[in-house]
Structure 1
Amino acid sequence: MAESVSETEELVKKTGATSVIWTWFGFKPSDEQQNILCRVCGAKVPAKRGNTTNLFYHLKTEHVVEYQHCQAMQPTAKSTTKNAGQKKQDLIQTSIQQSFSKGTPYIRKSPRWIEITRAITVYLCKDMVPFQTVERHGFKAMIRAIDPRYEVPSRKYFTETEMPKLYAELRENVEKELCDLKYFATTTDLWSSHTMEPFLSLTIHYITDDWNLGSRCLQTSYFPAEHTAEEIAQGLKEALESWGFKEERQVCITTDNGTNVVKAASLNDWTRLQC
């Protein structure tokens, strides 16, 4: 027997229920959610294990207006489910695309490939690391962990392509920085590498317009010629000329006390300071 509307006004919704149908059905607070009652007519409607089919049927057959309201609310819920499903599908699709892209190596003209290659080149130069480092398993494994899509070029590529390119760029920047110098001083020295290969270095020192002391190592050149005063004098002249500096603007050159270097400065008629 149906209960009166007043008796059902205090009905509570089913715990955890999300269906819109529970807007028109509920339980008495003291009933421990055993008997489902219609909020409109107070009728008891059987529904096993939370199945809402009987509830929709009761509303459709007994309360047409309320049923229409219920149906009007349904598309919102369905639309939400549809949108959630579409988002999930989009995420799956994106994930698949990312998986494929991770396995595709960068082309050598891509910005990312150029960026990593330049960083490795600077690392090799700045830390004076052997070029063969780029072909070692540990280095390649590290780069692969950082970016799996980057394939490390050969040692030959770095020595013949990237290193000359980096040197040309840096030299151009230094030339622009020093092109307006009125006067300068230099230092030089002869030294041998670990493999006993001879080199001649030349460093320029200057004062900027802001009265700051600056210096640049212009070159450390392979110097296979005999270390006679005449050869050293000629090598230093050629070094200055290659950078476009005029001898008359050189205030002095600082060297050690090596007899051949001291005589070389004298042959060039350069003012010399002892280091």
Structure 2
Amino acid sequence: MDKNLRSWVWLSGLFKKDPNDKFKVTCTVQGCSKPDINRKKQGQKAGTSNLISHANIHHPTEAKAAKDLHDKKEQEKNAKKRFRTEDTETVKVYDVKRQKTLQQTWSSAAPWDINDEKSKEYHYLIAEWIAVDCRPFTTAEDVGFVRIMNKAVPKYTIPGRDYFTTKIMPDIYERVQNKVKILAKSANNMSLTTDIWKSKHSEESFISLTGHILSTDFEHHTVVLRSQHFLIVILH
């Protein structure tokens, strides 16, 4: 086998060589944003550093699966070497457990489906963070945030802003609204206050109506009943 083919990037099956140009490679992952890759020249040879960089950045899950498989193959090979005797006719083979196929390894490391319960848990945590801290929906698409999530929860895929605005946030809004209705119905009295405030992230002003409720067990509850954009017109 060609020495370069021993690299984990070739075991991954992520790349396909151009038969007419050894320096050109195509990424086989469906939907890859940058499928065409030029291999770095090392003298007259084609290196794998660009392929490794592409796999680690754009396809971390598949890259990890390939690295794990490569490491296991190396461990098995080294184990067999340790148990060989000097007698060429007698070779002791290290008894190792049957190695997982690459497909099995990928399956165990495959990303969660967007509707998986584990994915939903993180969908709602991110949406609540956006709502509580008054952050824009684009926060979930920021490069730094995506990198943190990929490192912390590799199997979780962050959905786009449309998913949050059309599915997750409306559901959170409805749940909170129902809780407020129940709380309001149980109260004998409610005090109302209004306030005008400015957004943390823009110069836009908003006006809100807040309800203050004292429950039967003397617990104070504060709920925002309505909030909307407040247009200030300055006449000259």
Normalised by the length of structure 1, the TM-score is 0.44
Q: Look up the match of 2:18.
A: none
Which whole-Å CA distance do the structure 1 matches of 2:136 and 2:194 have between them? 25
Tell whether 2:176 aligns with 1:170: yes
Over 3 Å counting, the alpha-carbon distance change for 1:115 and 1:226 in structure 2 is same
Tell whether 2:154 aligns with 1:148: yes
Shift of 1:158: 1.7
Shift of 1:226: 6.8
Q: What runs of 5+ residues in structure 2 fail to find an aligned partner?
A: 1-93
Q: Look up the match of 2:207.
A: 200
Shift of 1:187: 0.9
Equivalent position to 2:111, from 98, 105, 115 = 105
Tell whether 2:141 aligns with 1:135: yes
Tell whether 2:196 aligns with 1:222: no
AA in 2 matched with 1:110: D
Which whole-Å CA distance do the structure 1 matches of 2:225 and 2:130 have between them? 19
Larger RCO: Structure 1 or Structure 2 (Cα < 8 Å, ≥ 6 residues apart)?
Answer: 2
Please state which structure has a larger fraction of its residues in helix. 1
Over 3 Å counting, the alpha-carbon distance change for 1:213 and 1:148 in structure 2 is closer
Q: What runs of 5+ residues in structure 1 fail to find an aligned partner?
A: 1-83, 228-275
AA in 2 matched with 1:201: S
Which whole-Å CA distance do the structure 2 matches of 1:201 and 1:212 have between them? 22
Moved over 6 A (4+): none
Which whole-Å CA distance do the structure 2 matches of 1:186 and 1:110 have between them? 41
Which whole-Å CA distance do the structure 1 matches of 2:213 and 2:155 have between them? 46
SS of the aligned residue for 1:179 comes to helix
Q: What is the percent sequence identity of the aligned residues?
A: 29
Q: Look up the match of 1:19.
A: none
Tell whether 2:219 aligns with 1:212: yes
AA in 1 matched with 2:206: F
Q: Look up the match of 1:253.
A: none
Q: Look up the match of 2:55.
A: none
Larger Rg over CA atoms: 1
How is 1:248-267 mapped onto 2 (pairs within 5 angstroms)? none
Shift of 1:111: 0.7
Over 3 Å counting, the alpha-carbon distance change for 1:138 and 1:225 in structure 2 is closer
Deviation track 1:103-151 (CA, whole Å, cap 9, x = no partner) reads x222222111111111111121222223212112111111111222222
Over 3 Å counting, the alpha-carbon distance change for 1:173 and 1:151 in structure 2 is same
Q: Look up the match of 2:128.
A: 122
Which whole-Å CA distance do the structure 2 matches of 1:134 and 1:127 have between them? 13
Deviation track 1:25-69 (CA, whole Å, cap 9, x = no partner) reads xxxxxxxxxxxxxxxxxxxxxxxxxxxxxxxxxxxxxxxxxxxxx
Which whole-Å CA distance do the structure 2 matches of 1:213 and 1:121 have between them? 26
AA in 1 matched with 2:219: N
Deviation track 1:144-181 (CA, whole Å, cap 9, x = no partner) reads 11222222111232223322221111111121122121
Normalised by the length of structure 2, the TM-score is 0.51
How is 1:56-75 mapped onto 2 (pairs within 5 angstroms)? none
SS of the aligned residue for 2:186 comes to coil
How is 1:181-192 mapped onto 2 (pairs within 5 angstroms)? 181-192=187-198
Q: Indicate conservation of the 8 Å contact 2:193/2:211, yes or no.
A: yes
Q: Indicate conservation of the 8 Å contact 2:114/2:157, yes or no.
A: no
Which whole-Å CA distance do the structure 2 matches of 1:178 and 1:158 have between them? 28
Aligned length: 140
